[in-house]
Amino acid sequence: MHDALQDMLVTPNEMAAIDKDAADSGIDSFSLMRSAGMAVSAAALRLFPTASRFVVLCGPGNNGGDGYIAAEALAESGAQVALFSLGDPSKLRGDGAKARSACRLAVVDIGTYEPKSGDVVVDALFGAGLARDLPNSAQDVVRRVDASRIPVLAVDLPSGIDGRTGEVRGASFTAAHTVTFIAPKSGHVLMPGRALSGALEVFDIGIPARLVAARASDLRINGPAIWKQYAGGLEAGTHKYKRGHLAVLSGGPASTGAARLSAAVGLVGGAGLVTLGSPPEAMAVNASHLTAIMLKEIGSAADLGEWLQDKRVIAFVLGPGFGVGKKARDFALMLCDRALVLDADGMSSFQQAREELFEKIAASGGQVVMTPHEGEFARLFPEVAADASLSKIEKAQAAASLSHAVIVYKGPDTVVAAPSGRAVVNVNAPPWLATAGSGDVLAGIIGAHLAQGFPAFEAAAAAVWRHGEAGNRAGRSATAETLAQSIPPLT
């Protein structure tokens, strides 16, 4: 596969540009539509061999055009097909009109469709061109189909999903399976679009890879291709300092567990050594719970300053259980020129002082990763969080640009974004990662990667992926402790 196409994600606008480039290069757009429609019909027959009737719902644009091609192909194969249209099919234009006239089935208004058991709905109402909320007549049919629980095969996107944001526009079908073309759209991987798309199949309708690659942005689905160049095997002659020294800063005596969890994960994640920096009053409790992790008393900024003289301490994790306040701010500002994971309390401490942090990150040139969940994101980037026009990807990109840090915007569809705009969306995380301490585990894996010399973006992307894999290995009863034991090796 062309390198630029590996795991690529496109927005509907980029898809439209690719489409136009294809037409300008002399490719017949109707032949693309025919390939798309044929792929849908093949998927319908393959996935639903016992369907008693395929109900093809066609919209007013090219998504509907794909539907007419699929309906004709299904009928040709001998299947029972019923065809419904949203709006007057005589108003179809261009390829859509051509597809309608090549379909010999009678078409009736969508308002008359009553779902019956044994039906399979082929949803070709709207795809990438959905520009506003679904019209009421489409929302009504979505509700009827939902209530009847008959399976839905979506063409390109479940109608109602915004292909850029993954959000529901009024209402959306819940598809068992979606056949999309050329590349997944961001709306297929962002929630709730990902959950509503069901299994996603990407079909190559024949647009040359060079045309697609020319429009490919720096947006990908997260996977090993992103970081594999930093995750090579260990050389036989390595030693623990070469593998990297990670430091994790502990909170006070009543809240030490989170930092110890990150520290333990740091070793599993591949750092050669991990030291827990502890305030004096928490030394005893930390000492009583540590074995392979080293312990150092770090009570004040002066202690930290002295420790920073040791350039072999490569990376730092600050935030888990640390406590919100001036000490966290002082420590964070001292660490901006190193490799730093600023998590939890480390970020929340800057709610009223973020400019100071962002300026320091910009001026210091370190490798800083921030890991907000939705609440922390809204605290640190309220104006971005409140902008309803932005997708989660765009929000993470805006936050990275504002803060000059790599942003890991956590959740079921974690987005990692760099200040340059480069971004990945993670898709391997199971819902049981939502368990107390799971974020501390993630911070520890990122720290381990930074200690090993990964650049911040790759460190974060690889960690989010390994965290997801750990969840899959640990299974549904995962706790932060079992997650920590289930992190897969880097290669």
Ligand X SMILES: NC(=O)C1=CN([C@@H]2O[C@H](COP(=O)(O)OP(=O)(O)OC[C@H]3O[C@@H](n4cnc5c(N)ncnc54)[C@H](OP(=O)(O)O)[C@@H]3O)[C@@H](O)[C@H]2O)[C@@H](O)CC1
Ligand Y SMILES: Nc1ncnc2c1ncn2[C@@H]1O[C@H](COP(=O)(O)OP(=O)(O)O)[C@@H](O)[C@H]1O
Which positions make up the binding site? 62-66, 123, 127-133, 156, 159, 258, 321, 373, 410-414, 439-440
Q: Is 206 in the site for ligand X (CB under 6 A)?
A: no
Measured CA distances, 431 to 195, 310, 462, 474 (Å): 12, 40, 19, 12
> What are the φ/ψ torsions at residue 144 (nearest 5 degrees)?
-65, -40
CB of 198: closest distance to ligand X in angstroms?
16
How would you classify the pairing of strands 415-417 and 81-85? unpaired
How far is 372 from 408, CA to CA, in rounded Å?
Answer: 6
Nearer to ligand Y, 60 or 471 (CB): 471
Give 217 or 401: the residue with its C-beta nearer to ligand X. Answer: 217
List the single partner that 159 binds among ligand X, ligand Y, K ion, none, CB under 5 to 8 Å by kind: K ion
Q: How far apart are CA 21 and CA 484, in angstroms?
A: 48
Specify the residue for token string 């509503």: 196
Contact present, 416 and 209 (Cβ < 8 Å): no
Distance CA 438, CA 304 (A): 27
Instruction: Identify which of residues 36 and 332 has a Cβ nearer to ligand X in the complex.
Output: 36
Known binding-site residue numbers for AMP = 410-414, 439
Dihedral (Cα; 105, 111, 112, 113), 10-degree rounding:
70
Q: Transcribe 248-298 into DSSP letters.
A: EE---TTS-HHHHHHHHHHHHHT-SEEEEEE-GGGHHHHHTT-SSSEEEE-
Residue tagged 């196409």 (tokens): 5
* Cα torsion angle, 397, 399, 401, 403, sign: negative
Q: Residue 404: enclosing H or E segment and its boundaries?
A: none
155 binds K ion (CB under 5 A): yes
245 SS3 class: strand
Residues 418 to 477 in contact with ligand X, rule: CB under 6 A: none
Please give the structure tokens belonging to residue 260.
């110890």
CA neighbor of 183 nearest in space, from 372, 420, 1: 1
Tell me whether residue 42 or residue 308 sits nearer to ligand X (CB atom): 42
In the bound state with ligand Y, the residue whose beta carbon lies nearer, of 243 and 467, is 467
Nearer to K ion, 152 or 258 (CB): 152
The entry of ligand Y, ligand X, K ion, none near residue 437 (CB within 5 to 8 angstroms by kind) is ligand Y
Residue 313 neighbours by CB distance under 10 Å:
21
Looking at the Cβ atoms of 84 and 307, the one nearer to K ion is 84
Q: How many residues bind K ion (CB under 5 A)?
A: 5
Question: Under the rule (CB under 6 A), what is the footprint of ligand Y?
Answer: 373, 410-412, 414, 429-431, 433-434, 436-440, 442, 467
Number of residues lying near ligand X (CB under 6 A) = 27
> Got the DSSP string for 179-215?
EEESS-BHHHHSTTHHHHH-EEEEE--S--HHHHHHH
Contacts of 245 (CB under 8 A, 6+ apart): 271, 272, 273, 274, 275, 312, 313, 314, 315, 451
Distance, in Å, from the CA atom of 104 to the CA atom of 125, rounded to the nearest integer, reads 19
Restricting to residues 41-80, which ones interact with ligand X according to CB under 6 A? 59-66
> Which window, 108-116, 117-125, 227-235, 247-255, contacts K ion (CB under 5 A)?
117-125
For residue 181, the minimal CB distance to ligand X (Å) is: 5
| Token code pair at residue 55 | 């109900």
Binding residues for ligand X restricted to 227-266, rule: CB under 6 A: none
Is residue 193 near ligand X by the rule CB under 6 A? no
- Nearer Cβ to K ion, position 124 or 448? 124
Q: Binds 48, which of ligand X, K ion, ligand Y, none (CB < 5 to 8 A, cut-off by type)?
A: none
Q: Stretches 28-36, 140-148, 274-282, 428-436: which one binds ligand X (CB under 6 A)?
A: 28-36
Q: Which is nearer to ligand X, 131 or 363 (CB)?
A: 131
159 binds K ion (CB under 5 A): yes
Among 23-31, 65-73, 157-165, 225-233, the segment contacting K ion (CB under 5 A)? 157-165
62 binds, among ligand Y, K ion, ligand X, none (CB under 5 to 8 A by kind): ligand X
132 binds, among ligand Y, K ion, ligand X, none (CB under 5 to 8 A by kind): ligand X
H/E run at residue 318: strand 313-318
C-alpha–C-alpha distance, residues 337 and 456, integer Å: 12
Interaction of residue 134 with ligand X, rule CB under 6 A: yes
Q: How far is the CB of 170 from ligand X (least distance, A)?
A: 8
Token pair listed for 78: 């001998």
Query: To the nearest whole angstrom, how small is the minimum distance from the Cβ of residue 410 to ligand Y?
Result: 4
Q: Which of 7, 72, 123, 394 binds K ion (CB under 5 A)?
A: 123
Minimum distance, C-beta of residue 423 to ligand Y, in the bound complex (Å): 15
Q: How far is the CB of 137 from ligand X (least distance, A)?
A: 9
433 binds, among ligand X, ligand Y, K ion, none (CB under 5 to 8 A by kind): ligand Y
Q: Which residues of this protein are in contact with K ion, per CB under 5 A?
A: 123, 127, 154-155, 159
Q: Which residues of this protein are in contact with ligand X, per CB under 6 A?
A: 15, 19, 32-33, 36, 59-66, 126-135, 155-156, 181, 205
